[in-house]
Amino acid sequence: MRILLGVSGGVAAYKAVLLLRLLREAGHAVRVIPTEAALRFVGAPTWEALSGEPVSAEVFDDVAHVPHVALGQGADLLVVAPATADLLARAATGRADDLLTSTLLTARCPVVMAPAMHTEMWEHPATRANVALLRVRGVHVIEPASGRLTGKDTGAGRLPEPEDIAREALAAVAAARAPQDLAGCRVVVSAGGTREPIDPVRWIGNRSTGRQGLALAEAARARGAHVTLVAANLEIPGADAAADTVVRVESTAELREAVRAAGADADVVVMAAAVADFRPAAPTEAKIKKVPGQGPAPIELVENPDILAELVRDRLRSGQVVVGFAAETGDAAGGVLDHGREKARRKGADLLAVNAVGAGRGFGTADNEVWVLDAAGEQLVHATGTKRQVADVLWDAVIKRRG
Ligand code: CTP
């Protein structure tokens, strides 16, 4: 793919260097278009060396090739990261006072902007209005992360991590190109990992970040589905862009209620969330204190309902396709697929996506390997690739199953 990486003048420009590397390593040709101000933070040699392409902030360089038109016309994706308040304002008003803003006017490909600025600037009505206008015009504006800003401040306005920007940007291209084969289909996807409270400050949780669930929601939405995302403690941004409706939950009980409520009129329910099998029997209202000299108090656990098994049993809507996930490590009793087959038969979901986790696989990683089994444990398809690619393969299987 031919990607234009616009960089405007904020301290977070250094993170765009990492974004550039990621995009190049993923095999894309990237041309960097910094603003003059961006070049005060990271110089042209860095961009040129890492992109392997010439770099200019000016429309008056290389005029013979009319770069502001040629670059925009030839691009498959234009990402601006960081997008400063000034860049957003100039883009919203259609200014063309440097190469980046001029290119923004000539590009007809998906445009993704990742704002980064101080919280006050991000929250200012002028910036809010600019972002709203850009979104109405079809620009995909990524929500900034919250956290440490330049200096001592913390708050909303931080540039998201380069991996997350890359993922959202590439998802925007996939969305623009996706077949609309899930149009009219209502889907519910649960994602993330549940937290079972021990006391007001502690919980039992798991390592799920929500990446695969989010990728499933994004893929379905891109293919035309109406998506409800039941998000359990996601550790990555992007939930709001991935779904028509986002229901945020913490515990298994909340997740169960949300999935069942949305599932009542869904054609497909995908349980990609890592759900805790057990929860503390009696979470305390006050924080549990350490009593010197006494060992830890035991925590009694009780079993959680199996939401997936209930969905299979109850079939909330006729013809509903129920999809489960099985995160397996394999052990002395059998390999990943052996456990997956056994789980497919036990759970009875129409489709079960079995994936290998542990030791750098599965949780928190960008890539995934999945076997899709039917309710009898028969393998339908084996998929490897990014979580988005795996998501698309799974939706293909769902469409086939729906017939
Ligand atoms: N699941 C669920 N409710 C639970 C536990 C799991 O709906 N209480 C769902 C998960 O969302 C996933 C599938 O069941 O789609 C399999 O989850 P997993 O934890 O792998 O299966 P378990 O039945 O808990 O089996 P085990 O932990 O013994 O491997």
Residue 196 CB-half CA count within 13 A: 22
Residue closest to 394 by CA, chosen among 304, 386, 34: 386
State whether 139 and 199 are in the same domain.
no
Whether 364 and 286 map to the same domain: the answer is: yes
Of 254, 275, 304, 310, best ligand 1 pocket probe by most atoms within 8 Å of the beta carbon: 275
Q: Which of 81, 18, 88 is nearest to 50 (CA)?
A: 18
Centre of ligand 1 to C-alpha 323, Å, is: 12
Cα separation, 359 vs 369, in Å, equals 14
Task: State which of 140, 174, 208 marks the end of a domain.
Answer: 174
Peptide bond just before 67 cis, omega within 30 deg: no
**Residue at a domain's end among 139, 159, 174:** 174
Ligand 1 pocket mutation pick from 277, 311, 336, 351 by most atoms within 8 angstroms of CB: 277
End-to-end C-alpha distance for the chain, whole angstroms: 33
Q: What is the CATH number of the domain that holds 220?
A: 3.40.50.10300
84 and 228 in a single domain? The answer is no
Q: Say which CATH number the domain at 115 has.
A: 3.40.50.1950
Q: State the residue range of the domain holding 189.
A: 180-402
Does residue 304 carry a catalytic annotation?
no
DSSP lists the bridge partners of residue 190 as 230, 271
Q: What phi-psi label fits residue 12: left (phi over 0), alpha (psi between -120 and 50 degrees) or beta? A: alpha
Q: Which of 174, 198, 214 marks a domain boundary?
A: 174
Asked if residue 81 and residue 9 are part of one domain, the reply reads yes
Instruction: Let me know whether 184 and 203 are in one domain.
Output: yes
Q: Please tell me the total count of domains within the chain.
A: 2
| Predicted confidence (pLDDT) per residue in 165-215, tens digit | 999 999 899 889 999 999 999 999 999 999 999 999 999 999 999 999 999
**Does residue 382 share a domain with residue 324?**
yes
Which tens digit of pLDDT belongs to each residue from 69-111? Answer: 999 999 999 999 999 999 999 999 999 999 999 999 999 999 9
- Name the 3-class secondary structure at 129: helix
- Mark whether 132 and 258 lie in a shared domain: no
pTM over 0.85: no
Instruction: For residue range 36-46, list pLDDT tens digits in order.
Output: 999 999 999 99
C-beta atoms surrounding 116 within 10 Å: 27
Co-location of 212 and 292 in the same domain: yes
Per-residue burial over 369-390, b = 16 or more CB atoms within 10 Å of its CB, e = otherwise: bbbbbbbebeebeebeebbbbb
